Amino acid sequence: MAKPDDRTVRTRRRSDGARTHEQILATAMELASVEGLGSLTIGRLARELDLSKSGVFAHFRSKARLQQQTIEAAREVFEREVLEPGLDAPDGLARLESLCEAYLSYVERGVFPGGCFFAQLLAEFDAPRGPIHDEVVELQRGWLALLERLIGTAKERGELDSSVDAQQLAFDLYAPLELANYLSVLRRDPTVVERGRTAIRATLTSAGRREGDRNRLGGRPTKE
């Protein structure tokens, strides 16, 4: 607060520690999406950001807190890159399709260099017990609950057949989204995402009350 308008500043020092904190988390998300949250080390982050190990450490005071905050930062990216655009569509079937397409687009655009942060987290912490496992359970529950809620609304509006099992359909939609993510990263080929689009389209069509409904999930890939 002493010298707020100092224009002689070298490069950083704009908003002091907060800016560094953000940069650390941004790098942490990238590293974790590629190599896993377990491979994320404070020393590695320090090297990557040209800071001292203790400098990085001071921002979090424990590795567990670094991991928690990295997950939280990734949650915000997911919110901005998938949930917000995905849910910005008319309620019902259109919103369900839009959400699936938003996820596939997020994979296709390579928002995280190692693919979906949470797909990585699911596979990494599905088995080992601990606080991160518990958080992944909650995150997955929330994701599936969201899909089930949209499916329920689409059923109420008569856009999906009333005989549809919402939990099963949520599983049926989630599966190709996940596989499209893993395979597109594995092959370094975002066109695999098109397989996911085709699968989603077919699943929604066969769950629909009639195929005359306009299907907005077309074959046009997202330009970026």
Partner DNA sequence: CCTACCGATCGGTAGG
The smaller minimum CB distance to DNA, of residues 17 and 218, is found at 17
Binding site for DNA (CB under 7 A): 16-17, 20-21, 24, 40-44, 51-59, 61-64
Contact 198, 101 (CB under 8 A): no
CB of 6 to a copy of itself, least distance (A): 41
Q: Which is nearer to a copy of itself, 49 or 183 (CB)?
A: 183
Contact residues: a copy of itself, CB under 8 A: 33-36, 38-39, 113-115, 119-120, 122-124, 126-128, 133, 136-137, 140, 167-168, 171-172, 174-176, 178-179, 182-183, 185-187, 195-196, 198-199, 202, 206
Cβ closest to DNA, residue 35 vs residue 194 = 35
Phi, psi (degrees; rounded to nearest 5) at 221? -70, 150
> Which has the closest alpha carbon to 87: 103, 71, 75, 74?
103
Partner whose binding site includes residue 16, from DNA, a copy of itself, none (CB under 5 to 8 Å by kind)? DNA
Burial of 72 (0-12, 13-18, 19+ CB in 10 A): exposed
Minimum separation from the CB atom of position 199 to a copy of itself (A):
5
Angle at 207 between CA 201 and CA 208, to 5 degrees: 85
Number of C-alpha atoms within 13 angstroms, CB side, residue 212? 2
Q: Is 185 exposed, middle or buried (0-12, 13-18, 19+ CB in 10 A)?
A: buried
Closest distance of CB 215 from a copy of itself, Å: 16
CB of 89 to a copy of itself, least distance (A): 24
34 binds, among a copy of itself, DNA, none (CB under 5 to 8 A by kind): a copy of itself
Q: Specify the amino acid at residue 220.
A: R
Degrees (nearest 5) of the Cα angle 31, 63, 29? 20
Using alpha carbons only, give the angle 135, 139, 141 rounded to the nearest 5 degrees. 115
Looking at the Cβ atoms of 52 and 191, the one nearer to DNA is: 52
Partner touching 136 among a copy of itself, DNA, none, CB below 5 to 8 Å by kind: a copy of itself
145 binds, among a copy of itself, DNA, none (CB under 5 to 8 A by kind): none
